Structure 1
Amino acid sequence: MRTTVSDRRNRSRRAATTVLATVLAGGTVLLSAPAALADDDVPTAKLTVDAPAVIGLAGQPVEFTETVTNTSSMDSGFHLFLKAVTGDGLPPTDGIAIDYRDPADGAWKSIPLWTDGQGSATAYRGDVSYTLQIPAHRSVNVQLRIGLPMGQPHNGAGNGGIQSLALESAVAIGAHGVATEEVTDTIKVDGLTTGLSGVPATAVAGGAPIEFDAVLKNPTASNYVNVANVLGIDPHATVEVRTADGGWTALTPVQGGGVDDGPGVYLEGRDSSVQADSTTKLRVRMSYDAATPLGPVTVNPCVFVNENPARPFSGTTACAQRATVQIVAPAASASKAQPPVNEASAGKGAPAVKGASTGKEAPAGRAAAPVVAAVPAAPAAPAAPVASAEAPAAPAVPAPVAAAPATVELASTGSTEQTPSYAAAGVALLAVGGGAAFWVVRRRRA
């Protein structure tokens, strides 16, 4: 690079000598020469950055392009510098990554980053290792990608996070030159969100299963790998998910890392993948055995990225709003609707029909109609009055029984809405690392 600067200076001296000789000879030309010499002496560049709008916390890096244009009239070598201002919230190592594609072999290579500042001023700096040799008035594209891995694969950091970062790009003449063009872009940071929809308010101990949807959203431009989509459940629960062919697959509960931790189930396995800008909806059914204590239980949706195989429910963690289901006894769940009244039972209270719609409770593990809320039956009309003491009484004609409307209550989610929203910024939690953290969230919300 020093050779290039020296040659440029020699050309400038020769040009100045030619101008002087022309003036001494009585010429009146080259009034525009100083401007031309300035263009040749100081190469300039223009920088265009096509940065991503949003990247995913703990997601895969997102590709983008920066274009450097040599706006001067001479060939020159330029260098590209990058700075990401993140603020506090990233782990000390492997929190952020910036890569470039090497034009020599087409491989992605990491840019070594060093940090300065602390707190809100924390920034990571680096530069592309090769020099951009650009002819006059020509452009070169530099392929880059940026991500927030939040740790290593299968060893994700469970604490921290940021909402955005400022990417500052600068192009300079040579590796140690002064920047001739700078561009700053703000990149939003988001992450996976999980939630439950349509969870019934009650379930019968030893009775029919309840059904609802588990919804996982990726609103970012990052793909995700090593994802564990988890439901924290009561120890007495059995969980199944609907398969693509319409069948049901039972899930095996996994115990957490702490002594008092409850079990959880992996809805799609421990190492699933999630595409950018996608939504995944899974149909879930859950039943509770006859030994389940009556009262409220919770269903807790969480998603973990880069879970450690030796520590279930660890890694970069986001938990959504739980759902509360009331466990009731079989008799309490039976419908109060009356069967048609016949002459033998006219004027007498008919017994309540057991079961939501079939007259009996469906066994656990099999699909059943949703639980029907108890609705009192309309009383039978009284017998017609007797016309006279001598005349025989006419038989009583029962009035028709009013049909009970079929209704389904949804589980409490801590808000006035029946269907909980997905994990919003105020609901999603980044839990402290380790298996116990997931269940700490559950206990806090219990």
Structure 2
Amino acid sequence: MRTTVSGRRNNSRRVAAAVLTAALAGGAVLMSAPGASAAAPPVMKLKLNTPAVIGGAGQSVEFTETITNVTSRKATYELGLQAITGLGLPRDPGVVIDYRDPASGRWKPVRLSVAEGADDVAFSGEVPRSFEVQAHSSLTVRLRIGLPMGWPHNGASNGGTSSLTLRAVVETGDKRVTSGNVFRSAEVTKTIKVQGLSPSLSRVPATAVAGGAPIEFDAVLKNPTPSNYVNLANTLWVDPHATVQVRKPNGTWTTLKKVPTGIPGEKPGVYLQGRDSSLRANSTTTVRVRVSYDASTPLGATDIGRCVFVNEGPTTPFRGTTMCAKGATVQVVAPGGKGTKGTKGTKAQPPAKTAPAGKGASAGK
């Protein structure tokens, strides 16, 4: 689903609301019937059951919207949706909304137009079908929403938003009537938080011996959101003299290829689980890592960095929606020097703190 971007507006909410209203009315201006009372009871009720959180750059999350017809006859409803976010999202696509077609059982996209304001961006559209609800009955519409942060394998390098406001509007009326008709509507607005993945390092030894035994620790990746994640590049940054191995499920160790960033002076990276791993909603994956430093490694402090990239580009490594954590510092010492007993007896560091979720932290390599 591709969105189209309109010109910049000083008040995106007002512009997007006008676009949404026009779409719901089929291009006509909605007007009250002569003598209609502002206190007239609504002909419908609307309940929006949105998720409390979704994952930035993650897969869409399903939710429901319930339309209740409180009249004594069946009615046909139109459903419009509008998501208002911060300015940090890409426009194509920044927000995706799908609906479950009850006739076919398939998910279909809601086409969204984009109105940019000085402080936010509004993505607005209408579900491309009507919903018939019997008298004094309710109908549940299945929807899903996501913030993909760009197309697969072409994600944004930075940016994001900490929340989005989802506005749902239903309207009804016999559109064959050209006068004396009232299109009555119900409207609900909910705020959805946006979080990201939380990479960290756990129990990294404080020292390592140049040319000596490897150190071992855990690289942890936590997904605290209801979004599944795909196209993940779970990454460590290491000294060029380091050799990195990960333990496989059968207990053996495999050596990882160091990948240069292409930027002079930056440490190479290693993919702990390949360039296209995945992580299910509300789950954590832990990779056991072993790092050794050859005899030519300069003595002193060296850093191990920690990041994860979503939808990394097809040609340039380590460029995608970026979430990083504070790394760890290891003192490389000479053989026979202080603190040369390997991983046993060395002082372990606590798990590293992660960058603020949903902020799209820059890679701290």
TM-score for both structures, normalised by structure 1: 0.68
Q: Say if 1:249 and 1:155 are closer, same or farther in 2 by CA, change over 3 A.
A: same
Question: Match for residue 277 of structure 1?
Answer: 282
Question: Match for residue 347 of structure 2?
Answer: 409
Question: Match for residue 51 of structure 2?
Answer: 52
Partner Cα distance (1:175, 1:424) in 2: 52
Matched, 1:419 2:350: yes
Question: Match for residue 400 of structure 1?
Answer: none
Partner Cα distance (2:228, 2:360) in 1: 20
Kept after mapping to 1: 8 A contact 2:195/2:225 = yes
Q: Say if 1:44 and 1:426 are closer, same or farther in 2 by CA, change over 3 A.
A: closer
Q: Secondary structure at the match of 1:331?
A: coil
Partner Cα distance (1:87, 1:248) in 2: 44
Q: Secondary structure at the match of 1:314?
A: coil
**Structure with the higher fraction of residues in helix conformation:** 1
Matched, 1:194 2:167: no
Shift of 1:117: 4.2
Kept after mapping to 2: 8 A contact 1:212/1:283 = yes
**Correspondent of 1:203 among 198, 201, 208:** 208
Shift of 1:424: 4.3
Kept after mapping to 1: 8 A contact 2:160/2:360 = no
Moved more, 221-230 or 166-175: 166-175
Q: Secondary structure at the match of 1:222?
A: coil
Matched, 1:84 2:89: no
Which residues in structure 2 correspond to 1:6-155 (within 5 Å)? 44-155=43-154
Shift of 1:185: 1.1
Q: Secondary structure at the match of 1:254?
A: coil
Kept after mapping to 2: 8 A contact 1:320/1:428 = no
Kept after mapping to 2: 8 A contact 1:207/1:288 = yes
Shift of 1:429: 4.9
Gaps of 5+ in 1: 3-37, 335-354, 357-368, 372-406, 411-417, 432-437
Shift of 1:43: 7.2
Q: Which amino acid is the alignment partner of residue 218 of structure 1?
A: N
Partner Cα distance (1:325, 1:57) in 2: 32
**Correspondent of 2:318 among 304, 313, 319:** 313
After superposition, the C-alpha distances for 1:158-182 in whole angstroms (9 at most, x for unaligned) are 1210111111111111598745211
Kept after mapping to 2: 8 A contact 1:43/1:173 = no
Kept after mapping to 1: 8 A contact 2:42/2:186 = no
Matched, 1:241 2:258: no
Moved more, 212-221 or 87-96: 87-96
Report the number of matched residues: 323
**Correspondent of 2:260 among 238, 252, 255:** 255
Question: Match for residue 343 of structure 2?
Answer: 370
Question: Match for residue 178 of structure 2?
Answer: none
Partner Cα distance (1:56, 1:70) in 2: 33
User: Which of 1 and 2 has greater Rg?
Assistant: 1
Q: Which amino acid is the alignment partner of residue 354 of structure 2?
A: A
Partner Cα distance (1:282, 1:98) in 2: 34
Gaps of 5+ in 2: 1-23, 26-36, 176-181
Shift of 1:420: 3.1
Partner Cα distance (1:237, 1:185) in 2: 49
Question: Match for residue 166 of structure 1?
Answer: 165
Partner Cα distance (1:127, 1:427) in 2: 27
Percent identity, aligned pairs only, is 53
Q: Which amino acid is the alignment partner of residue 76 of structure 2?
A: G
Q: Secondary structure at the match of 1:260?
A: coil
After superposition, the C-alpha distances for 1:284-308 in whole angstroms (9 at most, x for unaligned) are 1100000101111110010000011
Q: Secondary structure at the match of 2:189?
A: strand
Q: Secondary structure at the match of 1:320?
A: strand
Q: Say if 1:172 and 1:202 are closer, same or farther in 2 by CA, change over 3 A.
A: same
Kept after mapping to 2: 8 A contact 1:161/1:430 = no
Kept after mapping to 2: 8 A contact 1:319/1:428 = no
Q: Say if 1:426 and 1:294 are closer, same or farther in 2 by CA, change over 3 A.
A: farther
Q: Secondary structure at the match of 1:309?
A: coil
- The Cα RMSD (Å) is 2.4
After superposition, the C-alpha distances for 1:344-373 in whole angstroms (9 at most, x for unaligned) are xxxxxxxxxxx63xxxxxxxxxxxx525xx
After superposition, the C-alpha distances for 1:40-74 in whole angstroms (9 at most, x for unaligned) are x9971111111011100000000011111111001
Shift of 1:261: 3.0
TM-score for both structures, normalised by structure 2: 0.83
Q: Say if 1:191 and 1:175 are closer, same or farther in 2 by CA, change over 3 A.
A: farther
Kept after mapping to 2: 8 A contact 1:205/1:294 = yes
Q: Secondary structure at the match of 2:160?
A: coil
Partner Cα distance (2:327, 2:358) in 1: 10
Question: Match for residue 435 of structure 1?
Answer: none
Kept after mapping to 2: 8 A contact 1:43/1:70 = no
Kept after mapping to 2: 8 A contact 1:79/1:172 = yes
Q: Which amino acid is the alignment partner of residue 114 of structure 2?
A: T
Partner Cα distance (1:244, 1:319) in 2: 26
